[in-house]
């Protein structure tokens, strides 16, 4: 047994190889030395979003790497089916909040680390909560949750007058994702590398079978299951919504799928496959989670210390047949409504919402007609549906300045029909609105900065 002193000095041996020595591959502003390691342990604050398969791995990896100030947020409780891969959880933990058990277990095993758990929805926390972290690491399985965190992190980003991102407002994110034997790890530096929204097309729409195949020519077990789920359920239950979480509903779909499969001589319909197809579940593989988390944790360390240049900017991993990884440098969408600089618009404080919407039609960079306007997720005016139009109509006569809480500048999002090269497309744009407080009459032309 090594004595405690030599244990302590050997504990960071591998980390020290990265942090104490200069090298050719280091990032900009890298300043090697023991102070860097001390700063990492003392000041770097990382939020891990999700405490499932990826989140458990991420927390453990970051703690072992030397991060000491970690927080984890997750709204779920532990289920028996999690235990095969979410290795921080035991049978006696079933029913307990994942975030709390994960934090507790890592602190038990890794001395010196402090992990604050948050058992709640990501939407329950305010912007200030998210702003206190240096880096946000995502171990999520949903596109919606990623989009939400992406919106939050990008909302801190500010641009200077030349549309360059202000470095101190960049909130780095490291995102991991797995699907069976495939996975990805990516680094998102809002304003520098593409954000989640810039590359939303990376997530293809879910595969749907053509209804005629399901109805006429089923060939696979999945076809039989979807027939029972999408066609037969409605025929028999006429309007009653199908609830995938109701075991009776699932059992009904399963037995109908079995009948269908027998009719066409198709093997392979099982209850768990029925669940998988209906709920669109892809089996989670522990080793994929481990590999992707390791890549994410390393990127987090690189961002925190500059000990190496970060991944640029998307790593894909495929372990389905043999092993294949590659790094792709995706490019930013300069007009991204989330991370882009947005179009700068100067208004005076008396401009009504109606007048603002009219201005958007003539504004050179926009040419947007029939715009709907939202501010901080709140609908200021909606063109459709009629119900929302009516609800928001009274805002039209109110100055935008008042609707935005009388702040000197803010970001609004508009969506409508834009005309570019004589083509009409529906699009969403981000606007940076600046209010000029001017005494007396104001000429609208100068107020819009044109
Ligand atoms: Zn973007």
The pLDDT of residue 91 is above 90: yes
Do 171 and 190 form a contact (C-beta atoms < 8 A)?
Answer: yes
Instruction: Quote the pLDDT of residue 60.
Output: 97
Question: Region 258-284: what's the mean pLDDT?
Answer: 89
Ligand 1 center–CA 312 separation, angstroms: 15
Which residues lie near ion ligand 1 (Cβ < 5 Å)?
195, 197-198, 336, 338-339
Q: How confident is the model at residue 335 (pLDDT cuts 50, 70, 90)?
A: confident
| DSSP 8-state assignment for residue 172 | -
Q: What is the pLDDT of residue 286?
A: 93
Burial class (CB in 10 A: 0-12, 13-18, 19+), 231: middle
pLDDT tens per residue across span 404-422: 999 888 889 898 888 777 7
Q: Chain-centre distance of CA 123, in angstroms?
A: 12
The rounded mean pLDDT for the chain is: 89
Q: Are 375 and 431 within 8 A, CB to CB?
A: no
Q: How far is the CA of 189 from the centre of ligand 1 (A)?
A: 10
State the distance from the centre of ligand 1 to the C-alpha of 75, rounded, in angstroms. Answer: 26
Residue 369: left if φ>0, alpha if ψ -120 to 50, beta else—which one? beta
What distance lies between CA 219 and its chain's CA centroid? 36
Decide if pLDDT at 277 tops 50: yes
How remote is the CA of residue 429 from the centroid of ligand 1, in Å?
Answer: 11
- From the CA of 167, how far away is ligand 1's center (Å)? 16
Residue 6's pLDDT is what?
A: 62
Residue 2 has pLDDT above 60, yes or no: no
Percent of the chain surpassing pLDDT 90: 64
The full set of domains in the chain, from first to last, is 4-203+285-328 (3.40.50.720), 211-278 (1.10.10.520), 343-447 (3.10.290.20)
Q: Catalytic residue numbers?
A: 212
Q: Which residue would you say has higher pLDDT here, 244 or 448?
A: 244
Distance 335 CA to ligand 1 centre (A): 8
- pLDDT band of residue 450 (cuts 50, 70, 90) is very low
β partners of residue 177: 184
- pLDDT at residue 206 in the model: 57
- pLDDT > 90? residue 302: yes
How far does the centroid of ligand 1 lie from the alpha carbon of residue 31, in Å?
31
- Residue 49, beta-bridge partner list: 73, 138
**Cα 385 to ligand 1 centroid, rounded to whole Å:** 27
Q: Which residue has the tokens 């210390």?
A: 305
**Residue 335 in 3-state DSSP?**
coil
Ligand 1 centroid distance, CA of 430 (Å): 11
Q: What is the mean pLDDT of residues 355-364?
A: 90
Nearest CA among 436, 284, 427, 275 for reference residue 360: 427
Query: What contacts 7, CB < 8 A, 6 or more positions away?
Result: none
108-117, 207-216, 233-242, 341-350: lowest mean pLDDT where? 207-216
Q: How far is CA 398 from CA 150, 219, 286, 346, 434, in A?
A: 31, 60, 55, 17, 17
Average pLDDT for 201-225: 80
Closest CA to 162 of 344, 333, 348: 344
Collapsed DSSP state (helix, strand, coil) of residue 141: coil
Question: Residue 447 pLDDT more than 90?
Answer: no
Label the pairing between strands 368-375 and 378-381: antiparallel
- What DSSP line would sit under 277-305, residue for residue? HHTT---B-HHHHHHHHHHHHHHHHHHHH
- Residue-wise pLDDT for 97-124, tens only, equals 999 999 999 999 999 999 999 999 999 9
Q: pLDDT tens digit string along 378-391?
A: 899 999 889 999 99
What pLDDT, on a 0 to 100 scale, did the predictor assign at position 157?
92
Torsion angle of the four alpha carbons 59, 64, 65, 68, in this order, in degrees rounded to the nearest 10:
70
Q: What is the pLDDT of residue 4?
A: 58
Confidence of residue 449 (pLDDT cuts 50, 70, 90): very low
Q: What is the distance in A from the centroid of ligand 1 to the CA of 150?
A: 9
Tell me what pLDDT residue 63 has. Answer: 97
How far, in Å, CA of 269 to CA of 229, rounded? 13
For 248-265, what is the mean pLDDT? Answer: 95
pLDDT tens-digit map of 159-197: 888 889 999 999 999 999 998 899 999 999 999 999 999
Average pLDDT over residues 126-149: 93
CA of 332 to the centre of ligand 1 (A): 6
pLDDT > 90? residue 253: yes
The CA 432 to ligand 1 mean position distance, Å, reads 15
């Amino acid at each position: 047994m090594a004595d405690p002193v030599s244990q302590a000095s050997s504990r960071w041996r591998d980390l020290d190889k990265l942090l104490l020595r200069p090298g050719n591959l280091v990032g900009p502003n890298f300043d090697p030395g023991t102070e860097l390691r001390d700063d990492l342990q003392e000041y770097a604050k990382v939020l891990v979003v999700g405490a499932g398969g990826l989140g458990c791995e991420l927390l453990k990896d970051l703690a072992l790497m030397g991060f000491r100030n970690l927080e984890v947020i997750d709204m779920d409780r532990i289920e028996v089916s999690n235990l095969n891969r979410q290795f921080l959880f035991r049978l006696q933990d079933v029913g307990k909040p994942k975030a709390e058990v994960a934090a507790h277990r890592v602190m038990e095993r890794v001395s010196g680390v402090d992990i604050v758990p948050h058992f709640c929805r990501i939407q329950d926390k305010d912007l200030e909560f998210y702003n206190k972290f240096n880096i946000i690491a995502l171990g999520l399985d949903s596109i919606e949750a990623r989009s939400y965190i992406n919106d939050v992190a990008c909302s801190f980003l500010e641009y200077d007058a030349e549309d360059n991102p202000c470095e101190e407002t960049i909130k780095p994110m490291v995102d991991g994702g797995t699907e069976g034997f495939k996975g990805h790890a990516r680094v998102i530096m809002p304003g520098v590398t593409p954000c989640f929204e810039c590359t939303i097309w990376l997530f293809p729409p879910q595969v749907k079978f053509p209804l005629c195949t399901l109805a006429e020519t089923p060939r696979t077990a999945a076809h039989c299951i979807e027939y029972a789920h999408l066609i037969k359920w409605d025929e028999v239950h006429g309007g009653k919504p199908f609830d995938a979480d109701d075991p009776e509903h699932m059992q009904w779909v399963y037995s109908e799928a079995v009948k269908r499969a027998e009719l066409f001589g198709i093997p392979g319909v099982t209850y768990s496959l029925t669940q998988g197809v209906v709920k669109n579940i892809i089996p989670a593989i522990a080793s994929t989670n481990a590999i992707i988390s390791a890549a994410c944790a390393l990127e987090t360390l690189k961002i925190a210390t500059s000990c190496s240049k970060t991944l640029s900017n998307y790593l894909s991993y495929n372990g389905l047949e043999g092993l294949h990884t590659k790094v792709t440098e995706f490019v930013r969408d300069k007009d991204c409504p989330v991370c882009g600089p947005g179009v700068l618009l100067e208004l005076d404080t008396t401009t009504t919402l109606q007048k603002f919407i009219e201005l958007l039609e003539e504004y050179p960079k926009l040419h947007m007609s029939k715009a709907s306007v939202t501010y901080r997720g709140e609908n200021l005016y909606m063109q459709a549906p009629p119900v929302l139009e009516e609800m928001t109509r009274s805002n039209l006569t109110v100055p935008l300045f008042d609707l935005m809480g009388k702040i000197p500048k803010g970001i609004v999002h508009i969506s409508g029909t834009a005309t570019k090269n004589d083509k009409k497309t529906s699009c969403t744009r981000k606007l940076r609105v600046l209010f000029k407080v001017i005494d007396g009459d104001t000429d609208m032309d100068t107020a819009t900065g044109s």
